[in-house]
Amino acid sequence: MMEEVRLIQVKEEIFSDNKEIADDLRDNLVKEKTFLINLMSSPGSGKTSLILKTIEKIRDEFRMGVIEADIDSMVDSEKVAAQGIEAIQLRTGGFCHLDASMVKKGLDAMDLGGLDLIIIENVGNLVCPAEFDTGATKNVMILSVPEGDDKPLKYPLMFTVCNVLLVNKIDYLDISDFDIHALRERVLTLNPKIEIFEVSCKTGQGIEDWTNWLREEVKAFGVVSK
Amino acid sequence: MHELQVTESILSIVLKHAEANRVNKVVAIHLKIGELSDLENEWIQHYFDYLSKDTKAEGAKLKIERTPVVLRCNKCSNSFEVNIKQMKEIQCPECGDKKCTLISGREYYIKHMEVI
């Protein structure tokens, strides 16, 4: 006898577990008044340099911490810790991105009550991190000039999920064929609300515009500066 | 690139429903995944075959419906489908404006499953 095939309605989001943990994290961060940034980009675009520049600019105003995600090294967290800033290293052990449960592990190891601003340095990758809500207050991405102005066409999702785009290594602009106007147009088509800052971690150009934006956001979140 | 994690989630949700509905065997799983996702159907199936061994979902076929990327023009509210990977520039076919809001294309959804 043929067994009869029946249909069962599932109607579930595949990432519902991750979303739930991320939403819990966000609620908790609001309670603790800790602003969490999820920083994403390709490898080598300047995430660690940007974090170090940001620390330099606003460490006197906010109590800062950093969560470093790396497939299997401690290089970045050591650089941050050398600045006297609390840094937690998460080894993702081959994972191409961080998800909310991994971020939770990092946050659990930190004293949230004593921190106003935490920056997560996600795994260098423009694909996977875009898919996973980490529970962050804001998503920030870096695109560096040598990577090319066509990246929004290749990795549209990343540009869609971010609140801020930092165009780093802007000091290379004159010696490259990177079209900054085309880039802005492509990004704004996908995400009209995104804030775009042109920066150079090397020369310091534009860093203040970024940290001014960040300062206002952190204050608006309810954090009182030191 | 993160097909493995996606597949683990699919399997755990499917087995939860299989348990609750006293299913003997899961034959097929119908998914809805947005075009903006970089997942490869073939790899999801490979991983699924591997992970589902010795479970009630062993051998189940994943039937993946890809939902198109749809944008809505912020100026004239016209909605339009785009092939985001092939287009050089995106603009509203009605009014030509270039600022749009993403309406669909990010789905990661299990619709239903066929069971015996």
State the smallest CA–CA distance between residue A187 and chain B in angstroms. Answer: 9
A105-117 per-position pLDDT tens digit:
999 999 888 999 9
Maximum alpha-carbon separation in chain B: 56
Instruction: Give the residue, A95 or A46, on which the prediction is more confident.
Output: A46
| Percentage of residues in chain A having pLDDT higher than 90 | 77
The mean of the pLDDT values for chain A is 93
Cα separation, A156 vs A139, in Å, equals 15
pTM of the model: 0.89
- Please tell me which of the candidates A7, A14, A153 has its beta carbon nearest to residue B110: A14
Provide the token pair at A189: 């088509």
Percent of chain B with pLDDT over 70: 96
Q: Tell which B residues from 39 to 68 touch A, by Cβ distance under 8 Å.
A: none
Q: Between A75 and B6, whose confidence is greater?
A: B6
Partners of B43 in beta bridges: none
pLDDT tens, residue by residue, A37-69: 999 999 999 999 999 999 999 999 999 999 998
**Nearest C-alpha neighbor of A134 from the set A69, A49, A221:** A69
pLDDT at residue B109, as a whole number: 94
Average pLDDT, chain B: 91
pLDDT in tens, A109-141: 998 889 999 999 999 999 989 999 999 999 999
What are the residues whose beta carbons fall under 8 Å from the beta carbon of A210, sequence distance 6 or more? A54, A164, A166, A197, A199
Task: Say yes or no to pLDDT of A1 above 80.
Answer: no
Contact: B13, A188; criterion CB under 8 Å: no
Residue from B102, B104, B107 to probe the interface with A (highest A Cβ count within 10 Å): B102
Instruction: Convert the pLDDT of each residue in B72-100 to its tens digit.
Output: 998 999 999 988 766 667 788 899 888 88
Residue A93 has pLDDT above 80, yes or no: no
